[in-house]
């Protein structure tokens, strides 16, 4: 889907970022049913899982099987997180379309998350790019700069350090460098300023906004990133997710709420909200008892809502507060 002033790409990260952050292990068949529903809703990029040792994240033990299932669905980008060269080798062997690597802007978070310094991660990144170039040159590589807006372990992260790290990642040969509010510390003015600087430094290689709703600013921060020129946004259905190595970092932006915000503004996402809301059913079935978040699922589509392309909802809904 070409991205323009009136189009954005929603990259669904629930099957990785969401599931790795809950204690329950979702059965493989349930994951596949949920992924089928996300695809049917019109999402066109999805982070399936992470290639990490099962002893560290048992929720990801079946990632290769889930990737193979997702690859059978047409017309979308199947992405996987890899923290190191070994993970990249395993991911490329499954045929994924895109790799994403976490490189932390905070030294303390880098050591906690991947047990490497930032310099070590840049060296690992160069090895992964070389592997990609040799084995699968069509596969894209994205770096998400974790803790770019602050770190619960270190505190503030200087913006100049974030930009230097972004430029070093781009110089290593990656296709995209995005910024991640891993700990939910960002605010809109900071988001607008840092993404503006990132785009000035990297141009078309400035990548996605991965923003959390930990302190209730997720959508406001997404809007600030959009105003700075960002056109790709990570989010998680029902707000699942966070970071197990950043204390208190709960709450990805809710996909349903983010899609609604953009569509209501006349900015097309390509996502069918009614089908997206229906995708909560297989998620709930696969994670019984797990809290699911979101304002739109509670309130419903407002009367008179139209999609950015002029379509009307198939089933007109009455907001709950109006029906009460």
Q: Which residues are catalytic?
A: 243
Count of other CB atoms within 10 angstroms of residue 161: 15
**CA-wise closest residue to 129 among 184, 198, 177:** 177
What gap in Å lies between CA 296 and CA 108, rounded to an integer? 36
What gap in Å lies between CA 101 and CA 234, rounded to an integer? 14
The structure tokens listed for 103 are 């490189």
**Which stretch of DSSP H or E encloses residue 263?**
helix 255-264
What gap in Å lies between CA 187 and CA 206, rounded to an integer? 19
- The sign of the CA dihedral 56, 14, 254, 291 is negative
**Which stretch of DSSP H or E encloses residue 80?**
strand 77-81
What gap in Å lies between CA 242 and CA 248, rounded to an integer? 8
Contact yes or no for 263/10 (Cβ under 8 A):
no
**Which stretch of DSSP H or E encloses residue 163?**
helix 159-171
Angle at 210 between CA 209 and CA 212, to 5 degrees: 130
Contact yes or no for 135/92 (Cβ under 8 A):
yes
Contact yes or no for 216/181 (Cβ under 8 A):
no
């Amino acid at each position: 889907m070409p991205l323009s002033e009136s189009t954005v790409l929603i990259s669904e990260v629930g099957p990785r970022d969401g599931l790795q952050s809950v204690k329950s292990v979702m059965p493989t068949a349930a994951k596949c049913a949920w992924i089928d529903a996300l695809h049917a809703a019109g999402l066109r990029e999805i982070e399936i899982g992470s290639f990490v040792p099962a002893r560290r994240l048992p929720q990801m033990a079946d990632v290769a099987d889930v990737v193979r299932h997702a690859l059978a669905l047409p017309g979308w980008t199947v992405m996987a997180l890899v923290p190191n060269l070994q993970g990249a080798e395993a991911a490329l062997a499954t045929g994924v379309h895109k790799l994403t690597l976490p490189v932390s802007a905070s030294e303390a978070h880098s050591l906690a998350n991947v047990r490497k310094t930032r310099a070590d991660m840049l060296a690992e990144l160069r090895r992964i790019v070389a592997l990609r170039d040799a084995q699968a040159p069509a596969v894209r590589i994205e770096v998400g700069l974790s803790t770019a807006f602050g770190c619960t372990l270190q505190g503030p992260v200087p913006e100049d350090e974030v930009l230097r790290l972004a430029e070093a990642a781009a110089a290593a040969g990656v296709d995209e460098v995005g910024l991640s509010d891993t700990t939910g510390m960002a605010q809109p003015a900071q988001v607008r300023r840092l993404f503006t600087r990132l785009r000035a430094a990297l141009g078309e290689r400035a990548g996605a906004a991965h923003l959390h709703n930990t302190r209730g600013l997720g959508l406001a921060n997404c809007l600030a990133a959009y105003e700075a020129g960002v056109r790709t946004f990570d989010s998680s259905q029902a707000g699942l997710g966070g970071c197990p190595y950043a204390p208190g970092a709960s709450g990805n932006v809710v996909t349903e709420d983010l899609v609604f915000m953009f569509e209501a503004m006349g900015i097309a996402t390509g996502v069918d909200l009614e089908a997206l809301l229906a995708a909560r059913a297989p998620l709930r079935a696969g994670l019984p008892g797990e809290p699911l978040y979101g304002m739109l699922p509670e309130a419903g589509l407002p009367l008179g809502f139209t999609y950015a392309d002029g379509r009307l909802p198939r089933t007109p809904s009455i907001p709950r507060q109006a029906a009460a």
